[in-house]
Amino acid sequence: MSILSPSILSADFANLESDITMLNKSVADWIHIDVMDGVFVPNISFGFPVLKAIQPISQKPFDVHLMIVHPEKYIERFKEAGAEFLTVHYETCKDLQHTVKEIRAQGMKAGVSINPETPVSVLNDIIPYVDLLLVMSVHPGFGGQKFIPETLQKVQDLKKMLQQRGVHALIEVDGGIGLQNAAEIFKAGADAIVAGASIFSSENPLKTMEELKALGENK
């Protein structure tokens, strides 16, 4: 399985409708939406108005990544804004299991993300309750960063953990991903990759997305 989730954090916000229309025509599977609050991460991105604005335009599922404190307060509103996948950070949830169960109760698929410095072992108790595990391969908050190589081992370890537990959650990797490293990320065990700058900064985004997908299908 090779799922591609382009991150609109790298899109042209002056022409966001045009970029969403382009993604509709592409091989992309999801649209990755990074929501940042300037507290958990040192940056502020966008929130409900942007999601609601692009919801009627998009033909792809919203893969929403909450880099915010107290995500449990906003679960219902993100459902209303069109989220199909809703991912929260292990580092921000006081009661992670309750938050994940509430996401599922709202009819969304639940994801949990970990930062580069967080070991995969912290996910051991939560993996039976999630649909998606997001491994950050850069420090969250800004696009265009370099991929952290140690992420590959974390993905391998997480894949083994899932297999040993008989859990079928998807593994997604986010940060610094492009044509130069997508193949090894998929080979390590990732089911989905998030790519932003490598797509939206390319001369031919549609072709780049096709090439990224192909790298996963050839693993």
Answer for the pair 68, 42: CB distance below 8 angstroms, yes or no: no
Encode 14-38: b = buried (16+ Cβ within 10 Å), e = exposed: eebeebbebbeebebbbbbbbbbbe
Q: Which residues have a catalytic role annotated?
A: 34, 174
The partner residues of 17 in beta bridges, in order of sequence, read none
